[in-house]
Amino acid sequence: MRASLGVNPWSVLYEGLALRTSLSFGVISAVVGVSVLLLWIPLRQRPTFGTAANIVVLAFASDLGLALIPQNLGLPARLGLLAGGVLLNGLSVAVYVGARHGPGPRDGLMTGAAARTGRSLRFVRTVIELTVLAGGWLLGGGVGAGTVLYALALGPVTQFFLPRFAYRSAAERAAGPRASRSRASRAPR
């Protein structure tokens, strides 16, 4: 948001909803996160501690980040925030999904849809991000070049990092690279 080059698609949705309610950005993030959990039902996903922690941490971190990061930065700083935001978000999704303690609502939607459809994580996440972007834009949320970059890049960045940070059990580690390749071949792409 502070890059002022276009927020991520979910933030476009939150902005659109904020224009129509009196709720803060962080509260809307939490409400939407809980609502997305309903989409897990047909995907046979189940919330875990990591899911609940994601909702709470993301809501507070959003409001904290907006309070701490100054507005009206120069273009180089804004470009750095945009590029860093996309890369770090893809990395963070890969790290906590790979930890196997439960994905957040949006990430469970991604992993569940990828598992049910057999499509790659990058494809599923890109479709989700573009759909949310369209909904947020229709509600009046702001869209910029960074929004489009994020929508198109998050899925591929997440898929790139996930195999590098996925938790492997002791049995998987003992079996060596062959077991990793076998498990990777069954994982959603």
pLDDT value at residue 44: 87
pLDDT value at residue 118: 95
44 φ, ψ to 5°? 60, 35
The pLDDT of residue 3 is above 80 = no
- Cβ neighbors of 64 (< 8 A, separation 6 or more) are none
Report the distance separating Cα 48 and Cα 180, nearest Å: 25
- Residue 47 identity: P
For residue 178, name the pLDDT band (cuts at 50, 70, 90): low
Query: What pTM does this model have?
Result: 0.79
The pLDDT of residue 99 is above 90 = no
Segment of 59-68, 95-104, 127-136 carrying the highest mean pLDDT: 127-136
Which of 81 and 180 is assigned the larger pLDDT? 81
Q: Which of 41-50, 77-86, 93-102, 173-182 has the lowest mean pLDDT?
A: 173-182
The pLDDT of residue 50 is above 50 = yes
Number of residues that this document lists for the chain: 189
pLDDT value at residue 150: 94
Report the distance separating Cα 129 and Cα 135, nearest Å: 10
